[in-house]
Amino acid sequence: MTDRMKVNGVLLLLLCLGSALSAVIATPQTCPANLEAKCNDASSDDWEGEFFPGIPKIKYEGPASKNPLSYKWYNAEEEILGKKMKDWFRFSVAFWHTFRGTGADPFGAPTKSWPWEDGTNSVAMAKRRMRAHFEFMNKLGVELWCFHDRDIAPDGKTIAEANANLDEVVAVAKKLQEGSKIKPLWGTSQLFMHSRYMHGAATSSEVGVYAYAAAQVKKAMEVTHYLGGENYVFWGGREGYQTLLNTDMEKELDHLARFLQAAVNYKKKIGFNGTLLIEPKPQEPTKHQYDWDAATAFAFLQKYGLVGEFKLNIECNHATLSGHSCHHELETARINGLLGNIDANTGDPQIGWDTDQFLTDIAEATLVMLSVVRNGGLAPGGFNFDAKLRRESTDVEDLFIAHISGMDTLARGLRNVAKLIEDGSLDELVRKRYSSFDSEIGALIEAGKADFETLEKKAMEWGEPSVASGKQELAEMIFQSAL
């Protein structure tokens, strides 16, 4: 072999090696994002690995499908009752349960440790977790998400440090949102876990806590606005009391109203056009929370002149704890013009606390969708899966299966409502039940023009009134026939 041939051979070898190296560099990381994988740091901005390498993008396959990683009833683009299914629901992933849920309960330690977690609550871990979250939403086909400030970023020793941590993680979320339709359905502040909030936040007996809570809400509202969020939620988990013996209820309610008014003022100041939502809950962790149910929250808003500034985020499990059905709470909110959002979950009637289970009861889902359809939808609100895996469900795959099941259940509910409306029997039954008010005197009553003298004259003229059957069993039969 001549020297020239040797040189050409070496050059060819170097060229091949260079091409191979370029291909390796250009190929995105596809290894699983667990701590043992030899991948780049998932918290870095240029990392392109997969957190769910064994999970495909979830697609609609129809009711006959046996694939657990597919939609059987939820077909996002299908039009029902004049809207696409995705627009009726506006499904949202709850960051705190899906990515911060550990499986712990009041009697047991955590049972879950996802492969990408390193056991810390560092900013780097928060960034890594945010990337997992966006991959999850992309594969699930969901465009909205909800968060508490302290779920997505670690707290700090000072407000300034906490805000800096939040800014750093939010910058990652903002970048991940680019080029996609993903954005927050709503944000909120975690004003219940830290010991400073043991007496409440806006209802705390300590003015320093009140001010701290205001600063935290201010920042969380700014972040929600920056990310394009459409709503902001107030859940007063500790806005209540354990005993009235040491509580000035009037003062606390007044303070809470002033806090919420300040939030309204700041929302307008920064140009945030999102809806402010109050989430009723009767108790747990406090003995009595001031936003006990939809009716109580409405009365509070009326008293303090806040109607028109707030709507309600109804959670089905909270309805159960307040002694109501979810349907009752939704209808109470709806008829008062307050239905803004739904936390889609359910509880267990045999367990006395807020279990946050995924909704899988088709009958309940149908009742929920009856209210949503009557409301004309929920936008700019939606359905947020404030629900968590059971303590014993520990596979990454279970995160997808739970959401698919919840989405399919509500989709079946919507399809059932369409059947009920098309059939018309239930609406006709209700119409006939109140048909006596279609009379002349009935019209006067509903117009507020029937005085007692007029009604007394009619009562004497008619004599003993006849009372028709309520037809409850027929109503239930019609309803069940649609399921």
Q: Going from the N-terminus, what domains does the chain have, and what CATH number goes with each?
A: 59-423 (3.20.20.150), 436-481 (no CATH)
Mean pLDDT of 24-44: 48
How far apart CA 418 and CA 428 sit, in angstroms, is 15
Side-chain-side CA neighbours of residue 335 (13 Å): 8
* 277 contacts 341 by C-beta, under 8 angstroms: yes
**Integer Cα distance of 362 and 334 in angstroms:** 21
Preceding amide of 380 cis, omega within 30: yes
Is the predicted pLDDT of residue 473 greater than 60, yes or no?
Answer: yes
Residue 118 neighbours by CB distance under 10 Å:
13
pLDDT at 105: 87
E-assigned strands of 105-155?
144-148
Instruction: Give residue 129's identity as a one-letter amino acid code.
Output: R
Q: Which of 97, 133, 148, 403 is catalytic?
A: 148
Q: What are φ and ψ of residue 327, in 5° steps?
A: -60, -40
Euclidean distance between CA atoms 88 and 408, whole angstroms: 13
Decide if pLDDT at 342 tops 50. Answer: yes
Residue 421 has what DSSP assignment?
Answer: H
Percent of the chain with pLDDT over 90: 87
Helix (H, G, I), strand (E, B) or coil at 88: helix
What is the chain's length? 483
**What is the pTM assigned to this prediction?**
0.90
Indicate if the pLDDT at residue 234 is higher than 50: yes
Q: Which residue has the tokens 């440090």?
A: 161
Q: List, in sequence order, every residue forming a beta bridge with 38; answer none if it has no partner.
A: none
**pLDDT at position 351, please?**
82
DSSP 31: S
The model's pLDDT over 112-142, given as tens digits with 9 standing for 90+, comes to 989 999 999 999 999 999 999 999 999 999 9
pLDDT at 8 over 50: no
CA 457: distance to chain centroid?
A: 53
Q: Helices 249-269 and 294-303 sit at what angle, rounded to 10 degrees? A: 80
Alpha-carbon distance of 97 to 102, in angstroms, equals: 8
* pLDDT at residue 431, as a whole number: 97
Residue 148 known to be catalytic: yes
**pLDDT score of 432 more than 50:** yes
| pLDDT surpasses 80 at 39 | no
